[in-house]
Structure 1
């Protein structure tokens, strides 16, 4: 029987792309940056994904991630912006990102149902420590979760098995009675499985081929518990 459920946060519970777009809309307006938001986002989303992969693989620093993803997306969108302004926008983005807190459809109802079944819920995230707790609090999710483990707490990122081990120890959870739910096949699913955890892929756009457990909407999760 499953007793502990570990969730990823961004792109799983917390609708990162929607909240990110709103943050950019706000900071571009406040800093008078004449960028077509929709055009910019078509470049930023895949570039951000690329840099997060490099960050997970310990190939770049947090500072490199924050600066380069924005600078490269601006250049790809046809805009040349001074490095000083890129730094300003990068910091403003981090500050504005947790101010919008749209969740994926069905998240709160699903969490309530899991709590009613007396399951303990936890977060394991590669997101920046200084904003993840704020996201949980401002989206009114904090009270559902017993523990929050960030990669910065551990010093390694998913899919490194050490972060899963740390999270289970922090939660006082048993591997055989735990499961990981996340959107990233490499970091969340394969990472968890290589550590020996059961897993469920959350893939709302049904774009990731996967032969294991998979859901497109959180109302499908009840079949596993």
Structure 2
């Protein structure tokens, strides 16, 4: 049996979230919310709080474990000086995501590719790192959510890519074996090596540094040892520079098989 399932990463592969400009808009939105509740911080203050919270979890993340949504925000509220409250965290996150709204858009060619894959009968899934509700919201905002039969986000699993758990959960939900599935992603370490480890075929979409998240950059700057990813082009079954190239390969019948 050949390929029957295609699994995609989200950010940098299907969705562009706006990089540093969008991040600054999110910080501004949160600071406005906090100021309205008589918590007076500057945008620089909040960025420092966010970064310190991230660094607090860095050893956890380096082990490819994922932070739960409410535990992440518990640390933020503690540093801001607000008592833990789930309903407040939900509201807080809404303001955070509002800052990204005008910047979040599908990568060029994403919709056309997903539509063609569905037309040809492939089952589609997502395996992505991050907070589940925010990943899903990004897919909704870009009109891509409806293409997928399975959406697996690391915060719901407890482990981040390249750990096997997220991939295996998606494969189980899509009722297929690794040998019949392809992973499409822009991260060499997380998507390509992670999927290869469980026996999937891979398509590496070589992204630019501008698509990397602020979170990745903060974590990378603190890493004692940077991963060696120079040989990934030899590991991936297919390498493209843009998602649109994958559509052309598909149309030409050159899908990994």
Alignment of 1:85-164 (within 5 A): 94-99=93-98, 100=101, 101-164=104-167
Larger mean CA deviation between 98-107 and 175-184 belongs to 98-107
Give the corresponding residue for 2:80: 83
Q: Distance in 2 between matches of 1:185 and 1:53?
A: 21
Change (3 A) 1:137 1:193: same
**Structure 1 gap ranges (5+):** 72-81
Q: Root-mean-square deviation (CA), in Å?
A: 3.8
Aligned pairs for 1:23-102 (under 5 A) are 23-31=26-34, 33-35=41-43, 54-55=60-61, 57-58=63-64, 61-62=67-68, 83-84=80-81, 94-99=93-98, 100=101, 101-102=104-105
Q: Is the 8 A contact 2:64 2:162 kept in 1?
A: no
Aligned to 2:198: 195
Q: How many residues align?
A: 211
Q: Is 1:15–1:104's contact at 8 Å kept on the other side of the alignment?
A: yes
User: Which consecutive residues of structure 2, in runs of 5 or more, have no partner in the other structure?
Assistant: 36-40, 211-228
Question: Deviations along 1:109-132, whole A, 9 cap, x unmatched?
Answer: 221222222221101122212323
1-side partners of 2:8 and 2:172: how far apart? Answer: 16
1:73-98 deviations in Å (ceiling 9; x for gaps): xxxxxxxxx6327x99x976632354
Whose Rg is larger?
Answer: 2
Change (3 A) 1:60 1:191: closer
Q: For residue 105 of structure 2, give the secondary structure of its aligned residue in structure 1.
A: coil
Q: Normalising by the residue count of structure 2, what TM-score does the alignment of the two structures yield?
A: 0.64
